[in-house]
Amino acid sequence: MMNASVLPQSMQNLIDHVSLELLKAERPKLAAMFRECFANTYLTTIQPAEDGSTFVITGDIPAMWLRDSSAQVRTYLLLAKEDPHIADMIEGVVIRQSQYIGLDPYANAFNKDPHGAGHQQDITPMSPWIWERKYEIDSLCYPIQLGYFLWKVTGRTSHFNSAFHAAASSILRLWRVEQAHEEQSPYRFQRLNCPPTDTLTRDGLGSPVGYTGMTWSGFRPSDDACTYGYLIPSNMFAVVVLGYLAEIADQIWNDTAISSEALQVAAEIKSGIEAYGTIQHPEFGEMYVYETDGLGGYHLMDDANVPSLLAIPYLGYAEASDPIYQRTRSFILSRENPYFYTGKMAQGIGSPHTPERYIWPIALAVQGLTASSREEKLRLLDLLADTDGGTGFMHEGFHVDDPTKYTRPWFSWANSMFSELVLDVCGHSIMQLVRQ
């Protein structure tokens, strides 16, 4: 079993190489921060299990989110082709995720063992394995993406086992059901004595939606309740990973039923996005909305968490040069976005999940990863280095006027996103590696 308490030599070599590149660019603080952030996730959140699976905590919460765990190990794909121990660790994450989806595809976060920690008092079918059962589309997208990327980088297919196959079938069924949420969904969620963003209205069913072809989501990747049930960036992510799933089904399983169904659901969701997911903005022109209900309601905003509208090229739904994306991006990075904040130390995207005027490093990293110029990427890296609050690490959010005021001192996803932007600037692109 892999020892996750000792830094692998391959990781140390990459850290040394990237640090040297940053020092050549006269950015010693960035070099020091990269050393800490890139190693931190591996050394502090990875927990190999006897069965070959890998449990990954988020940092300061001792539970494994399907979303976060995928994003936390994504940067290590750069090492997986040459280092079988790293590949084993990532394969173990996919194996554990498949097991969890098999337990309950509506749950977003799980315990390491069935010890009943987490939100057991929520009014929704819980089990001792489940930490939280907020249904989010992206929680099912990320494991498919991670499994696909691991295959493309290493050539491995052993993680596409019977559990992954069963999880994929379950995801397809769930997304089909949630296309007709009002009529068919068995999902209900309520949390008592909490902020409105932590529970769903209408006795746990959520706000009304009409049929669009898109698939419904109860919660955003922030774990906040959706205002309108069709979350556009998450539906975009679903379209992308359904394409991945069809390829896996064709080439690995020779399963034409799953391949055909994945492509059909993807086409229906994409058609729904095109029909209901854009508006004509008086200033920015045709652009994407963040959420819609298929009944005329929509939300003009973007959130710091991924998937987001800002992350559309990062997700693989459209190129960064796409005109609608560029117009949407202009809106997102303007005062028209209610969660775009400007202050003495920074400007960027925050979230209703955190206090007002708190910017998220994850959003700054995504802004850099989707930027068209190296200069813009470096500017955002310098901004991240200047707003670490003196800790050398990323946080969930920091105040635009005072970065020493921040939320979540240990947030592994943010450290990984910062590391991915550093690697990208230094010529190590994960997407380029996947596409080779």
- The tens digit of pLDDT for each residue in 18-54 reads 999 999 989 999 999 999 999 999 999 999 999 999 9
Residue 2 has pLDDT above 60, yes or no: no
Q: With cut-offs at 50, 70 and 90, classify the pLDDT of residue 9.
A: very high
Residue 1 has pLDDT above 60, yes or no: no
> Rounded mean pLDDT of 79-103?
98
What is the Cα–Cα distance from 231 to 228, expressed in whole angstroms? 7
* DSSP label of 200: -
SS3 99: helix
Helix and strand tally (H, E) in the chain?
17, 15
Looking at residue 97, its pLDDT comes to 98
> Per residue in 173-189, pLDDT tens?
999 999 999 999 999 99
> Per residue in 105-149, pLDDT tens?
999 999 999 999 999 999 999 999 999 999 999 999 999 999 999
What is the Cα–Cα distance from 40 to 29, expressed in whole angstroms? 16
Domain ranges for the chain, please list them: 113-333
The pair of three-digit structure tokens given for residue 67, joined into one six-digit string:
């979303």
The pair of three-digit structure tokens given for residue 107, joined into one six-digit string:
């749950």
Q: With cut-offs at 50, 70 and 90, classify the pLDDT of residue 170.
A: very high
What is the Cα–Cα distance from 275 to 279, expressed in whole angstroms? 10
Judge whether 149 and 74 are in contact, CB under 8 Å.
yes
Share of the chain above pLDDT 90, in %: 98
CA 178 to chain centre: 20
> Per residue in 259-283, pLDDT tens?
999 999 999 999 999 999 999 999 9
Beta bridge partners of 279: 287
Mean pLDDT of the chain: 97
Q: With cut-offs at 50, 70 and 90, classify the pLDDT of residue 413.
A: very high
Looking at residue 4, its pLDDT comes to 64
Q: With cut-offs at 50, 70 and 90, classify the pLDDT of residue 6.
A: confident
Q: With cut-offs at 50, 70 and 90, classify the pLDDT of residue 3.
A: low
> Rounded mean pLDDT of 191-196?
97
What is the Cα–Cα distance from 119 to 136, expressed in whole angstroms? 16
Q: Which of 257, 256, 259 is nearest to 267 (CA)?
A: 259
For 71, 179, 271, 292, 298, the CA distances from 295, given in Å and listed in that order, are 33, 14, 16, 8, 9
Specify the CATH number for 113-333; select among 3.40.50.620, 1.50.10.10, 3.40.50.970, 3.30.70.270: 1.50.10.10
| Residue 307: cis peptide before it, omega within 30 degrees of 0 | yes
Q: Measured at the alpha carbon of residue 409, what is the angle toward residues 406 and 410, in degrees to the nearest 5?
A: 140
Q: Measured at the alpha carbon of residue 262, what is the angle toward residues 261 and 264, in degrees to the nearest 5?
A: 60
The pair of three-digit structure tokens given for residue 145, joined into one six-digit string:
């993406």
The residue count of the chain comes to 436
What is the Cα–Cα distance from 248 to 19, expressed in whole angstroms? 36
> Per residue in 316-369, pLDDT tens?
999 999 999 999 999 999 999 999 999 999 999 999 999 999 999 999 999 999
What is the Cα–Cα distance from 78 to 83, expressed in whole angstroms? 9
User: In 10 A of CB 158, how many CB atoms?
Assistant: 14
Residue 306 has pLDDT above 70, yes or no: yes
The pair of three-digit structure tokens given for residue 402, joined into one six-digit string:
């005072």
Residue 394 has pLDDT above 80, yes or no: yes
Handedness of CA 275, 276, 281, 286 (dihedral sign): negative
What is the Cα–Cα distance from 125 to 207, expressed in whole angstroms? 20
Handedness of CA 431, 330, 236, 184 (dihedral sign): positive
